[in-house]
A = this chain, B = another copy of it.
Amino acid sequence: MLKVVIIGSGNVAQHLIKAFRNSAHAELMQVYARNPGKLSHIVPQELIVQKIEALAKAHIYIISVTDDAIEEVSSQLPFEGRLVVHTSGSMPLAQMDSKNRRGVFYPLQTFSKNKEVDFKNIPFCLESEKEEDYLTLEKLAKSISPLTYNISSQQRQALHVAAVFVNNFTNHLYSIGDDICHSNGIPFDILKPLILETADKIQSLSPTDAQTGPARRNDITTIQRHQDFIENPVQKEIYTLLTKSIQRRNG
């Protein structure tokens, strides 16, 4: 049984805490939190520590704090030579203090406070400084998800950028769709099945094969009519740029 300590109380930390508490193959030893009130509903009081000196001995320490705080927290740890990982998509492994054996344990998913996630569908991007630690990280990840990938810090950086495109920017396009509906007295609900199907389609087709629309078929008349229709200058700029990008990619 792998013994785990989680350092942090944010969104990702909370989801990991719940996942490890439900896992038969990992034991959550402790959670370090400066603000234990945030955790009272998901973890027994006796597992929470507020002093970093009080950290118990474990196989793996997971630092799940904001990117800016990772370096400082890693250097405050009162021990050396143990396996310490962070959960950030954008920070390199080397961001942490080298006094411990370093690794990365990055769940590639969008976590919301008010929405449960199923860890079985979450890919874990794993990286370790020492080869022998990789197996431990893999075993820990497999205790909550079958999807594990060996991803270097350089690849993780790329993946984080890709995730911004397919998650943050996609959601922003949903917002624009919502705005357009709202200004025209149309319920946004009408777009929801289309949004789901768009995401579902590329589970089996490549995005290139799944591409449709006026830009893809170079339908200049429709593109012009859409551009005339859009009044908001930022929306118009986005429409024009993405249309050009599709035309160039498929031209």
Contact = CB atoms under 8 A, between A and B. Distances in A.
Contact of A67 (B174, B191, B206, B222): B222
A49 interface: no
A168 B109 contact: no
A126 to B, nearest CB: 12
A229 to B, nearest CB: 6
Contacts of A175: 207-208, 211, 249
Most B CB within 10 A of own CB, among A151, A172, A207, A238: A172
Interface stretch (A30-38, A79-87, A136-144, A213-221): A213-221
Interface in A163-201: 163-178, 180-181, 183-201
Contacts of A193: 108-109, 121-123, 147
A95 interface: no
Nearest to A175: B207
A109 B164 contact: no
20 contacts: A67-B222, A90-B222, A108-B190, A108-B191, A109-B193, A110-B197, A112-B212, A155-B186, A157-B225, A160-B226, A166-B174, A166-B176, A166-B198, A169-B246, A171-B198, A171-B201, A192-B203, A195-B199, A196-B200, A199-B200
